[in-house]
Amino acid sequence: MEELKLLIPEEEISKKVKELAEQINRDYQGKSVIFVGILKGAFIFLADLVRQIRDIDLAIDFIRLASYGTSDTSSGQVQITKDIELPLQNKEVIIVEDIIDTGLTLKYLQDYLESHQPNSVKVCCLIDKTERREIEINIDYCGFTIPKGFLVGYGLDYAEKYRHLPGIYEIVRK
Ligand code: IMP
Ligand code: MG
């Protein structure tokens, strides 16, 4: 059985999401932006983030990626299991991701979205998990930096469990 240790309480997440939205509001004022959420992990983060966006003409899309690998690390071999639906050509795109670990998933997605010829592609990520990074990734908007550990809650799962928890927890194995 696994035990959960509270790492980031709900209030702290909410404060950080507001800060990120304020930065985006400043950078994209008056522009037209497509937020692309990566399913499933980013669904709660994206929902909270977009409700703090002001003065931006905003559209939302989702993509779902499956990565082959062991249960807790990705292989970089990524497959799209649900594609985007909106045209991205000449648009400003912000990828919304829950957590970046090796960076391989995001690198794949950046290259894929670039092939749709958008005007720009930026990355907004709630958690930058740095220790296992395998590829250099430029994160434009980053919520929290945490070196390691397996995290759940606020969209993040372990074997599909714990996504609904309002805070972020670390799994401690007993
Ligand atoms: P990457 O390709 O190694 O960067 O993998 C990133 C993806 O792995 C994220 O989108 C998550 O779905 C998943 N992931 C990585 N670390 C964690 C974690 O600590 N908790 C839950 N999911 C994670
Ligand atoms: Mg994910």
Phi, psi dihedrals of residue 58, rounded to the nearest 5°: -120, 140
pLDDT less than 70: residues of the chain: 68-76
pTM for the model stands at: 0.95
Quick: pLDDT tens for 56-72.
Answer: 999 999 999 987 666 66
Q: How far is the CA of 43 from the centre of ligand 2 (A)?
A: 10
**What pLDDT is recorded for position 74?**
66
Quick: pLDDT tens for 13-44.
Answer: 999 999 999 999 999 999 999 999 999 999 99
> What is the C-alpha to C-alpha distance for residues 39 and 154, in angstroms, rounded to an integer?
13
> What is the C-alpha to C-alpha distance for residues 151 and 144, in angstroms, rounded to an integer?
12
CA distances from 167 to 43, 52, 129 (A): 14, 19, 17
**What pLDDT is recorded for position 173?**
83
Write out the residues surrounding ion ligand 2, Cβ under 5 A.
41
> What is the C-alpha to C-alpha distance for residues 18 and 150, in angstroms, rounded to an integer?
25
CA-derived radius of gyration, the chain: 16
Tell me which residue has tokens 């059985």: 1
Nearest CA to ligand 1 atom 12: 41
| CB 105 within 8 Å of CB 65 | yes
**What pLDDT is recorded for position 1?**
75
**What pLDDT is recorded for position 67?**
77
Residues with a catalytic annotation lie at 101
**What pLDDT is recorded for position 139?**
97
Question: Domains along the chain?
Answer: 9-146 (3.40.50.2020)
- The minimum-distance atom of ligand 1 relative to the CA of 97 is 10
| 152: enclosing H helix or E strand | strand 151-152
**What pLDDT is recorded for position 66?**
85
